[in-house]
Chain A
Amino acid sequence: MQIFSFAWAARCFCFLIFFSYTAFSFASSLTIKNDLHCRITVPATVRAGAAVSVKFELFNHGRRALNVLMWNTPIEAGFFAPYLSITGPDGELEYGGAMMKRGAPERADYARIKPGGTLMKTVNLAEIYQFNRAGRHNIKYVGKLFDVTTEKIPRSLEQHVAIALNCPDVAFDVILKD
């Protein structure tokens, strides 16, 4: 029978490999998503005009070390994307930071988080947002992580596996100087 020829066997084999690889990468990105946890911490009240120190933490609750591309997080030095949406009494605040066109990332663009480890950074949001209205302000993480992997880094843009990051929203009050 023609159907049991070597060529067909090879095709089936290739398909199986491709299918299992795709399924595996999909499952792998799902586990990574479950392993990564995020927390934003803000002071309860901040004076208008003062620094707004926000702590950003990324936890690896999984069993494998993760290489995280730091774009879209406060972990990288400088503000190069509006990955936070901040809403005050007058609606969404204007982002005053930069927007960066990236090329292929370098190794230094990634941070490694060991199993059980944390990446942490505190940044001053007053550098890029104007908090000059008194009242409740809400911070929502609206970015995504461009690439998170257990594999060798850096990886080209085509190889990136983006991951949505769910950071619980936080709120704080801006008070005017008395």
Chain B
Amino acid sequence: MLLRAIFAIALICASFASFARSNSLSVNLSLADRATVSDQEVMVDVVFTNNGSTPLSIAKWFVPEGALEGDLFLLSRDGKKVPYLGPIIKRAAPSAQDMITLAPGESITRSVDIAGMYDLSASGEYKMQYGVASSQLLGRTVPRQATDSKRFAESAADVVMESLMSNEVATFVEGRSNPLASLAADKSAVLSAKSSIAYSGSCSASQKSTLTSAVAAASNYANTSVSYLSGISGNTPRFTTWFGSATSSALSEIRTDYTKIKDALDNKSLVLDCSCKQSYYAYVYPTQPYKVYLCRAFWSAPMTGTDSKAGTLIHELSHFNVIAGTQDNAYGQSAAKALAISNPQQARDNADSHEYFSENTPSQQ
């Protein structure tokens, strides 16, 4: 009986201690826009601050970055909970690399698009709060007494739920089609019955509509490239500018490349990812067809023409080993033109050369 009482007191003390620690970590939520229309992102800024006097660690999956990978927010509309639609990832206990450490007084700020991950199909005032509770929230940066560390680790008292809540903010959100539920609808919206587009990395509604147009424009580029190549049998300004002399083997190599690019756009399942925040255009893993990661320069590029959205998709598709396995031997129009003269073989293996041939800007015969 006495033992049980001691255990209970220990448990209370342990929860208290952890409460005190999590209390020195505060979270503040703020909204970028007071109201959002249906094709707009719902951006919130989340600021984590260590108000204590010792360093604090938090498992990184509770600090959202780019795409949400867990239900980290409490959303309600008219007093009703709004369901979370995003992925929920099963985690092992966090290891040292999984922790983000905040020095005393340090803050980190993250911007998150709520729209992709919660059901915002109805218009109305949405109340939002960051709120998580987990036994793995905070790292054990506070060293325990050496004598009881082992026992502590094994006792039930170690499994303490720690919680972290922010202030509540409210905003008017215009209802929008639920992106995850409409994934099936998106698939049918594309060009041909066999192909499909899926999105990952929290693409906003406007990004998705841009990507649908970009895929259609890329498909048009692929079709016109294939038909152009089938209509020539030797040197033309357009071919030689980008690929050097049109020998029969060079022609057949490039024809094969574009036939495969066209096939991917017509028949394969593309996955387009919006999570990249780097200044570049886009990237792929050549071993992982047909997923393309779009970065910042992509979004500001024109839809068609030199270094356009459509052309970038041609460039990226050409990289896949199952398509042409192209390299990045030269970047930019002038370097690509120079390569066609100095090393036509490398030009035929160059992703930008494929892109510029398709874009054909300025136009050549």
Contact = CB atoms under 8 A, between A and B. Distances in A.
B109 to A, nearest CB: 19
Contacts of B319: 99
B328 A157 contact: no
Interface stretch (B162-170, B193-201, B278-286): B278-286
B285 A101 contact: no
Contacts of B293: 98
Most buried by B among A80, A98, A99: A99
Contact of B280 (A101, A146, A157): A101
Q: How large is the interface on B (under 10, 10 to 19, 20 to 34, 35 or more residues)?
A: 20 to 34
B279 A100 contact: no
Contact of A103 (B285, B307, B334): B307
Contacts of A59: none
A98 B285 contact: yes
B280 A100 contact: yes
Contacts of B279: 103, 106, 109
Given A81-B328, A158-B332, A101 B286 contact: no
A109 to B, nearest CB: 8
A157 B331 contact: yes
Interface string B326-353: 0110011011000000000000000110
B286 A100 contact: no
Nearest to B300: A103
A102 B285 contact: no
Interface in A41-96: 80-82, 94-96
B327 A101 contact: no
A103 B281 contact: yes
B334 A101 contact: no
A157 B328 CA distance: 13
B281 A80 contact: no
Nearest to B352: A101
A101 B287 contact: no
10 contacts: A82-B327, A94-B321, A95-B287, A98-B293, A99-B351, A100-B282, A100-B328, A101-B280, A101-B283, A160-B335
Given A94-B321, A101-B282, A101-B312, 20 more contacts: A81-B328, A95-B286, A95-B287, A97-B285, A98-B283, A98-B284, A99-B286, A99-B351, A100-B282, A100-B283, A100-B328, A101-B280, A101-B316, A102-B281, A102-B328, A102-B331, A103-B281, A103-B307, A146-B331, A158-B332
Interface of A: 80-82, 94-103, 106, 109, 146, 157-158, 160
Interface of B: 279-287, 293, 297, 307, 312, 315-316, 319, 321, 327-328, 331-332, 334-335, 351-352
